[in-house]
Amino acid sequence: MENQVNSKSIIVNNGIYLGLVGVVVALVLYAMGKSLELQWVGSVVGFIATIAFVVMGLKYYKSSNRGFMSWGQGVKIGLGIVMVSAVITVIYTLLFTYVIDPDFQQQAMEFQQQKWLDSGMTEEQINAATSMSEKFQSPVIVSAVILAFSAFIGFVISAIAAAIMKKSEEETY
């Protein structure tokens, strides 16, 4: 393929848009005062948006590349889109945690402790769970988890979408 399309702009543009969708959803939930109660909404919207932006990016690449795209190209583009979005998410999370609402982590922990109490856990179990949870709330660990989880989900979505959408020049003969 001598005239292949540059995938960098597709990756960056779709990644930024995907990241902004996540930030806007998080800010809307925060403004409504429902960040803790409706975390699942952000997750569902983020998952659907991830699928949508990866598929749109792959479709655009494929159409710009004379209708051809290998599985590897599709995975690279899809994973790139998700990782650009993940970097935006990490930056937003750090800004939120340290600038916008520094008390949010404590509020989240109290909310979780109440859920544990309501589910019948003993005070000793809650203390042990709280101690374990606090170990994973450092900025480095939170950032690493966001990036690792995004890489996994991005790979799975990209691999499936690329497998469905791939088309090589050899297949046309």
Residue 59 lies in a domain: yes
To the nearest 10°, report the CA torsion of 145, 149, 155, 161.
Answer: -150
Residue 159 lies in a domain: yes
Higher-confidence residue of 132 and 155: namely 155
How many CB atoms are closer than 10 A to CB 75? Answer: 22
Residue 86 lies in a domain: yes
Q: How many residues does the chain have?
A: 173
> Model's pTM, two decimal places?
0.85
Whether the per-residue pLDDT at 79 is higher than 80: the answer is: yes
What mean pLDDT comes out for the span 33-50?
A: 90
Residue 15 lies in a domain: yes
- Quick one: pLDDT at residue 9? 94
How far apart are alpha carbons 36 and 64 in whole angstroms?
Answer: 42
What mean pLDDT comes out for the span 160-165?
A: 95
Residue 170 lies in a domain: no
Residue 173 lies in a domain: no
Residue 2 lies in a domain: no
- Quick one: pLDDT at residue 80? 97
172 — pLDDT class (breaks 50, 70, 90)? low
Higher-confidence residue of 156 and 127: namely 156
How far apart are alpha carbons 54 and 21 in whole angstroms?
Answer: 13
Q: Which of 50, 25, 24 is nearest to 39 (CA)?
A: 25
Residue 140 lies in a domain: yes
Higher-confidence residue of 133 and 92: namely 92
How many domains does the chain fold into?
1
Q: Which domain, by its residues, includes 104?
A: 8-164
Alpha helix (H) residue ranges in the chain? 8-31, 39-64, 71-95, 104-118, 123-135, 139-165
User: For the CA atoms of the chain, what is the radius of gyration?
Assistant: 20
Helices 139-165 and 39-64 sit at what angle, rounded to 10 degrees?
Answer: 40
Average pLDDT, the chain: 90
Higher-confidence residue of 172 and 96: namely 96
